Amino acid sequence: MIVHDNPPHIRRMETGRDDAFGFEITGHITASDIENMFGLLEAAYELHDRIDVLVVVREFEGFDWSAALRKSTLSGKAHALKHIRRYAVVGGPGWMSAAMGFFKPFLSVEMRHFALDEEAEAWAWLDAA
């Protein structure tokens, strides 16, 4: 068994649909966490032109601003917008809902924020489990 000193803070969650992808975020997000997530999404785009994404945020401790503002991260976000049909965020700090509300009118992605205790509703909104 391999023990990781720094396990990933963004982990993939299994879903009931092959074109729906779930991620769980915990702790402090680093550049390697972001690169891992975009790598998983890139693989999904190879199989499906349009996907649905659910992100569950538990015990969020922030992220490295330098990682969030990297050219590769910004490029990954722009590429994701071409492929994501529906995007649900569950939990997280209050500013996440406000940020989604701010950007919603400018994007073609259907987005919704759910409270942590509404995770089942988020899965239902995506028609996934």
**Using CA atoms, how far apart are residues 127 and 109, in angstroms rounded to an integer?**
16
**Using CA atoms, how far apart are residues 32 and 77, in angstroms rounded to an integer?**
15
What string of pLDDT tens digits covers the 129 residues of the chain?
454 556 678 889 989 899 999 999 999 888 888 888 888 888 888 899 999 999 999 988 888 777 666 666 556 666 677 888 999 999 998 888 888 888 888 888 899 999 999 999 999 999 987
Q: Is the model's pTM score more than 0.95?
A: no
| Structural domains for the chain | 10-126 (3.30.750.24)
Element (H, E) at 24: strand 20-29
